Amino acid sequence: MRILNEFKVPNFKFPKLKMEGISEIDEVNIEEHKSQKKDIKYAPKNYKTIKEVFTKAITEYKDKIFMLEKFDHKAPFTEITYEQFGQDVIHFGTGLNKILGLKDKRVIIIGENTYHWYVSYMTMLCGTGIAVPVDKELPANEIENVIKRSKASAVIYSKKKKEIIKKVKDNLPEVEYFIEMNSDNTINDKDVGANYVIEQGKRIVSSGDDSYMQIEIDPEEFKVLIFTSGTTSQAKGVMINNRNLAQNVNVVSAYVYLDSNDRFFSVLPLHHTYESSIGFLLPISVGASIVVCEGLKHIVPNLKETHPTAMLAVPLLIENLYKKINENIVKSKKDKLVKSMIHLTNALKTVNVDIKRKVFKEIHDNLGGNIRIIVSAAAPIDAKVGKWLQDIGIVFLQGYGLTETAPISALTPEFDPRVGSAGKAVTCAELKIHNPNEKGEGEVYINSDTLMIGYYEDEAATNEVVHIIDGKRWFNSGDVGYLDEDGYLYVTGRSKNVIVTQNGKNIYPEEIELLLGKIEEIKECMVYGKEQAGSKELVISVKVIPDYEKIEEKHGKNLTEEQIHKIIWEEIKGVNKKLTSYKAIKNLEIKKDEFEKTTTMKIKRFVELQKDKK
């Protein structure tokens, strides 16, 4: 899964720990903490479309809190009810359809996580057009390319993206409207404020027009277009329908119990299906509330202020929280005590006595006090981190999937999480290992109701990864792994070329190579993620075979290796300026021999990477 751009983890600050819960352990009434079997029903739901989810939510939970967000950092969190959310979606959809004529058209949504993003996305899913969520961190040229490639008729953008929209709008004559979130501006040529559209929609609905809610959604209808990485001609657009999204909601219910008392903490970007599906569509299906985090540096204070029960995260965030909390425990000279209490509470739990939240209350309080579930996805996580979360009384779950599976295809059930596994196939999916070796490892194939329609305007690329086997559509995930005897998946590597960073961002080498190929001084190149000693993070690197004739022609004869390296590096720096910062090349290697290639003259990346490891 592709998650965060330049995930710069802040310096989390926690107060000195006293661990009073541990000192009071003798006073704990064991009988009170004996596990009571709850009448929890783990069963998949049966929604066909997201509109069904939406309609139920705004009816059954109308008085409950849908969202908490700080629109002013100095003010408290604003609480927005499901009723308000429902009205805004209906009015916005009515205005977009009746006033701006955007019914069935493609609409870009770009901006930070905010209430207005949620309204915009739901409006598309329930009856306006095709949503095209875009990474807010993309540079202007890539945003422009996304708009053009998607054939978008409108762009809904946040105030923070206003300047970048100004830069590109003159190059986009095909766009009919540029709609600014949380703006009251009336229509001025192609510009209009979203609040104005909502007010006009409200006026139409008040007159008795119920056309928006009467729109019937075909579960198979193309509703969301997400570009997997960047926006050059090499980036793939994933086409998702309502059934794909609804099944995400349905299947999680079979593995995790959630209800209207739960509160999700939203820290990951909404343009990604992980957050928009599991962090948005799932919680509204049970009437849970969502907290919009102000930003990475505000994670800890926001947790303490809003007391969420569930958080979706990438490994980098979870591992850093783990690191900071444990550093603080050591500074407080409580590490040996905490370790012994983990052993004790684990032993008690084997006899159905769970006092973890009591004993480790101070740690829980630093995370808001109510966190009971943390879900990690997007990249592998150190198993000891997940085990530690379990040890202190937090259910740690691992999700698995890709944008192409919208995204969930496997999940560890909360009743049997198995730290270290990527999960077991969700109830609408099957996993199988294609051509396993003697260890049972092979490429992970996925057959699922969450599987995309296909790649946008690229049937050939779709056919490369989706194979019909025994009448079923199987998607080649590009991952290598094995299944245990209970069907739990363990991912051991990747077979695709994609570079997966520690924060879950995927980088497609071909996209960068296409740009490097325009440099005259480069004959051939291969972009890859280079391992570095003592770190799990990959350095974006490139192996280059120089075009010595062109270099001699342009820069003179008898150049040293250092001079050639400098010449090519200066050209690469120019390419880096055209890329989002997390894709920038950090390391250049001049290759003296030829790349090993297939009969079709494609570089054997795996072979070259093995050489690099040696």
Q: In percent, how much of the chain has pLDDT > 90?
A: 73
pLDDT > 90? residue 497: no
Backbone φ and ψ of 572, nearest 5°: -65, -40
Q: What's residue 9's pLDDT?
A: 59
Q: What's residue 231's pLDDT?
A: 30
Q: What's residue 492's pLDDT?
A: 79
Q: How does residue 17 score in pLDDT terms, banded at 50, 70 and 90?
A: confident
pLDDT > 90? residue 234: no
- List CB contacts of 301: < 8 A, sequence separation 6 or more: none
Q: What's residue 39's pLDDT?
A: 66
Q: Over the stretch 336-377, which tens digit does the pLDDT of each residue have?
A: 999 999 999 999 999 989 999 999 999 999 999 999 999 998
Q: Over the stretch 183-228, which tens digit does the pLDDT of each residue have?
A: 999 999 999 999 999 999 999 999 999 999 999 999 999 999 999 8
pTM (predicted TM-score):
0.84
Query: Mean pLDDT, the chain, as a whole number?
Result: 90
423-425 and 130-134 strand pairing: unpaired
pLDDT > 60? residue 3: no
pLDDT > 70? residue 27: no
Domains, the chain: 20-34+278-494 (3.40.50.12780), 50-216 (3.40.50.12780), 508-613 (3.30.300.30)
Q: How does residue 168 score in pLDDT terms, banded at 50, 70 and 90?
A: very high
Q: Over the stretch 312-326, which tens digit does the pLDDT of each residue have?
A: 998 888 988 998 899
Q: What's residue 10's pLDDT?
A: 67
**66-71, Cβ contacts within 8 angstroms, sequence gap of 24 or more:** 66/284, 66/289, 66/290, 67/115, 67/118, 67/289, 67/290, 67/291, 67/292, 68/289, 68/290, 68/291, 68/292, 68/306, 69/114, 69/115, 69/291, 69/292, 70/292, 70/294
Q: Over the stretch 248-281, which tens digit does the pLDDT of each residue have?
A: 999 999 999 999 999 999 999 999 899 999 999 9
Q: Over the stretch 511-537, which tens digit does the pLDDT of each residue have?
A: 788 889 889 999 999 999 988 877 778
User: If you average pLDDT over residues 460-487, what whole number do you get?
Assistant: 94
Q: What's residue 598's pLDDT?
A: 56
Q: What's residue 4's pLDDT?
A: 39
